[in-house]
Amino acid sequence: MESSINFVIAAYALTWLALVAYAFHAHRTLRRARDEYDRATGQAAGRPR
């Protein structure tokens, strides 16, 4: 009984670990992409890099 609950806890913990890690990865990638876009459009408008 106690052992089976440990497997259940491990499954839910792994699920949240995966989702939070991916959310962090997605947000970091998006922030970098937005910075890159801002740099490129600033360059196109003649603003300093």
Partner 1 sequence: MSSPTPPIADSPVPQAGRWPIFGVFALVFLVFAQVSAILVSPPDRDMGHLQKIMYVHVPAAWTTFLAFFVVLVFSLLVLWKGRESHDLIAASAAEVGAMFNALTLALGMIWGKPTWGVWWTWDARLTSTLVLLLIFVGYLSLRAFIDDPDRRARWSAAVGVLGAINVPIVYMSVKWWRTLHQVQSSPSTVDPAYVYGLRINAVALLFVLIYFVRRRYEAARLLRAAEQRDDAIALGGR
Which residues contribute to the site for partner 1 (CB under 8 A)?
1, 3-5, 7-8, 10-12, 14-15, 18-19, 22-23, 26-27, 29-30, 32-34, 36-37, 39-41, 43-44
State both tokens at 43.
């360059």
Q: Please, where are the H alpha helices in 1-49?
A: 2-44
Closest contact distance (angstroms) between CB of 13 and partner 1 is 10
Closest contact distance (angstroms) between CB of 37 and partner 1 is 4
- Rounded Cα distance between 32 and 1, Å, is 47
Closest contact distance (angstroms) between CB of 4 and partner 1 is 5
